[in-house]
Amino acid sequence: MTFKYGKQIGIGVATFVLAIILVFGINRYLLSNRNSTVNSSVSHQNTELNKPNIATTEAIKKAENSLTNVITSGYDDLEEFVDVEPSKYPYLVAPTFEDDGSIIYDGMTLTELTDLLNKSLGSYMTNTGYFFANYTKRTGINPYLSVAIVLLETGCKWKCSTLTVECNNIGGLKGSGSCRGGSYSKYNSLDEGITSYLDIIYKNYYLKGLDTPDKMASKYAASSEWSNKVNTYINEIKSKQ
């Protein structure tokens, strides 16, 4: 019997062993492919996680730029605006000055330009037109522009900011002479505060060709409406001639 069925038994055993080997090989192959797929997926996910998100990066840059620009452009919306008793106006009595009668800007003498600018300067900055007009006489800077920026910064067309009233700081300038123990500068007089601010506008903007609100806006202000507001003030100032 053994002799009779030996060949069949041998073939059966060999077939069984071959089947086991084949099944094991297929399972191993499938498992290998699965791990490869998982690793590829994980690697791709890690790459995506480590890859900078363009939208997020741009948002961060804009936030940083906005913060920088807000500090640079003064303190709009960061300060309270207060009523000031006329008796506390630094120049309740207008400063006196000599006028040689020469034309200094837009067909006006020093006196005429001073009188025009005074019509737009109120509250704590009443009668300070002379300082802006005289700065124009010395430098040639557009007086409508300089007064318009200051009006926007201080609100002194109606009420002035507390930083202006308490520390003679008209542009949110930072540095020595701490105002209220903070980082903003304090000036001994409003004249000094005005001159310090105009020096910055003149040297950092005007002399570099940034002599209009539209040209200044990208460097000076965070708000896209800043130049529109300044231009509105300029037109109002000029309309009072």
Provide the domain count of the chain: 2
CA distance 196 to 194: 6
CB 161 within 8 A of CB 80: yes
CB 117 within 8 A of CB 147: yes
Q: How many Cα atoms sit within 13 Å of 63 on the Cβ side? A: 6
If asked whether residues 88 and 187 sit together in one domain, one would say: yes
CA distance 103 to 100: 9
Q: Is residue 212 one of the residues assigned to a domain?
A: yes
User: What pLDDT does 198 receive?
Assistant: 97
Tens-digit pLDDT profile for residues 15-24: 665 656 655 5
Q: Is residue 30 one of the residues assigned to a domain?
A: yes
Output 129 or 54, whichever has higher pLDDT.
Answer: 129
If asked whether residues 75 and 13 sit together in one domain, one would say: no
If asked whether residues 96 and 23 sit together in one domain, one would say: no
If asked whether residues 32 and 128 sit together in one domain, one would say: no
User: What pLDDT does 13 receive?
Assistant: 56
pLDDT at 2 over 70: no
Burial environment of residue 211 by CB neighbours within 10 A (0 to 12, 13 to 18, 19 or more)? middle
Model confidence band, residue 46 (pLDDT cutoffs 50, 70, 90): very low
Tell me if residue 47 falls in helix, strand or coil: helix
Mean pLDDT computed over 64-83? 45
Q: Name the least confident of 86-90, 136-140, 173-177, 182-186.
A: 173-177
Mean pLDDT computed over 115-123? 95
**SS percent in the chain: helix, strand, coil, step 5:** 65, 5, 30
Q: Is residue 56 one of the residues assigned to a domain?
A: no
Residue-wise DSSP of 78-137: TS-EE---GGG-TTSSPPP------EEETTEEHHHHHHHHHTT--GGGTT-HHHHHHHHH
**Please, what is the angle between helix 213-220 and helix 226-238, to 10°?**
140
CA distance 232 to 141: 18
Tens-digit pLDDT profile for residues 124-181: 999 999 999 999 999 999 999 999 999 998 888 788 888 999 999 998 888 877 888 8
Mean pLDDT computed over 179-208? 94
Q: Is residue 166 one of the residues assigned to a domain?
A: yes
- The DSSP bridge partners found for residue 161 are 81
Phi, psi angles (nearest 5°) of residue 105: -165, 135
If asked whether residues 94 and 158 sit together in one domain, one would say: yes
pLDDT at 7 over 90: no
Which residue type, as a one-letter code, is found at position 28? R
Q: Is residue 33 one of the residues assigned to a domain?
A: yes
Task: Locate 166 and state its tokens.
Answer: 């308490």
Check which CATH number belongs to the domain holding 179 and give it. 1.10.530.10
User: What pLDDT does 45 receive?
Assistant: 40
Tell me if residue 6 falls in helix, strand or coil: helix
Q: What is the pTM of this model?
A: 0.67
CA distance 150 to 230: 9
Task: Locate 88 and state its tokens.
Answer: 């506390």
User: What pLDDT does 93 receive?
Assistant: 94
If asked whether residues 22 and 101 sit together in one domain, one would say: no
If asked whether residues 43 and 107 sit together in one domain, one would say: no
pLDDT at 49 over 60: no
If asked whether residues 212 and 100 sit together in one domain, one would say: yes
What range does the domain containing 34 cover?
Answer: 2-51
CA distance 170 to 197: 7
Say which DSSP state 184 is in: B
Handedness of CA 162, 167, 172, 174 (dihedral sign): negative
Q: Is residue 89 one of the residues assigned to a domain?
A: yes
Q: Out of 3-12, 175-184, 217-226, give the one with best mean pLDDT.
A: 217-226
Output 172 or 37, whichever has higher pLDDT.
Answer: 172
If asked whether residues 123 and 199 sit together in one domain, one would say: yes
If asked whether residues 26 and 75 sit together in one domain, one would say: no
If asked whether residues 146 and 223 sit together in one domain, one would say: yes
Q: Is residue 63 one of the residues assigned to a domain?
A: no
If asked whether residues 126 and 231 sit together in one domain, one would say: yes
Q: Is residue 57 one of the residues assigned to a domain?
A: no
